[in-house]
Amino acid sequence: MPVSRIAIGLVPVWDDPTTSMQLEHVRRLLEQLLETRVLFIRYRKPEALAHAFEDGEVDLAWTSPILALTHPSMGRGVPLASAVRQGATHYHSVLFVSSDSSLKSATALQGCSVAWVAPTSASGYVFPRVALASQGLDPQTLFKTEIFCFSHGAVVDAVLSGQADVGASFAVFEDGDATKPLLRAGFQDTEHDIAVRILVVSAPIPSDLWLATRPAHQQLGDRLLRSLEEVCKQAPNAMMSVFGAEMYVAPDVKRLEHLRENVEHAQSLELISIEEDE
């Protein structure tokens, strides 16, 4: 029996008229495929999305794997779909500066200001800090100033405006290989394409997830995955621009568990601190 309404929560990369138009296109297609009313609810911060998920305000959440795996409000959620980009179910994080910046390497970041997305953002906080540590730099003491912007677009704005010297965001490389050409990043989309220089590239990160509450999982089963696959076929530009996905597959549970272990290890070394934003 079809559910009467599906509420989907997300923190969009960009919150602009183009994103609104593309989300509406996706919403209408999902309504047809799921045969029920679909509502997108946008949140400014990942923590707000997590609490909405816990409170039952949303049935599904488009979320980073870090938020899904570590936030207590999402602990009982069920991963239903994982994004595929350029044939890979992973992407990377980068630390970037504007092209006219005098900063040329990670070691030059000492005493600089940095813009992060959120403490629960895989590409916008967790993995770039781990990447810095792998180069022998202590992310706890490296920067003079650290700010959280709560979206990738806001990080780009912070770097462009000079509020931050360097920013963290996601990056998709050809074939999922960081040695190959960059295909998409948080500082690139149909309306935003700034000249930047990448200083640091992280290890691969599992792609973002569509997470369901347990009641929604019981009602939808694998219908969501099939519907997302169909929307990718019917509206490829919208799905790529808003969700960065060319198709969807069932989540790799083992890879997600490995990610959880890596995050816990980074926390134990005090490389990252994932706390709720009050």
Question: Using a CB cutoff of 8 Å and minimum separation of 24, what contacts does 216-220 make?
Answer: 216/3, 216/6, 216/59, 216/60, 217/78, 217/80, 219/3, 220/3, 220/6, 220/34, 220/80
**115 vs 93: CA distance, rounded Å:** 13
CB 169 within 8 A of CB 97: no
User: What's the pLDDT at 192?
Assistant: 54
Among the listed residues 191, 214, 224, the one whose alpha carbon sits nearest the alpha carbon of residue 30: 224
Please, which residues have CB within 8 angstroms of residue 96's CB and are 6 or more apart in sequence?
Answer: 159, 166, 167, 168, 169, 185, 187, 196, 197, 198, 199
- Provide the 8-state DSSP code for 105: S
**Burial category of 16 from C-beta neighbours within 10 Å (exposed 0-12, middle 13-18, buried 19 and up):** middle
User: What's the pLDDT at 278?
Assistant: 32
Tell me the domains of the chain and their CATH numbers: 5-84+207-260 (3.40.190.10), 90-205 (3.40.190.10)
**174 vs 180: CA distance, rounded Å:** 6
Produce one character per residue of 189-212: b if its CB has 16 or more CB atoms within 10 Å, e if not. Answer: beebeeebebbbbbebbbbbbbbb
Cα Rg for the chain, rounded, in angstroms? 18
User: What's the pLDDT at 277?
Assistant: 41
Instruction: Give the other-Cβ count within 10 Å of 2's Cβ.
Output: 12
How do the residues of the chain divide into helix, strand and coil, expressed in percent and rounded to 5? 40, 25, 35
User: What's the pLDDT at 238?
Assistant: 95
Please report, to the nearest 10 degrees, the dihedral formed by the alpha carbons of residues 236, 239, 245, 247 taken in order. Answer: -50
The beta strands (E) that lie in 21-144 are given as 37-42, 60-63, 78-84, 90-98, 113-116
Question: Which residues in the chain show pLDDT less than 70?
Answer: 1-3, 189-193, 274-278
End-to-end CA distance of the chain: 39
Tell how far CA 7 is from the center of its chain: 19
Phi and psi at residue 117, in whole multiples of 5°? -80, -65
User: What's the pLDDT at 190?
Assistant: 42
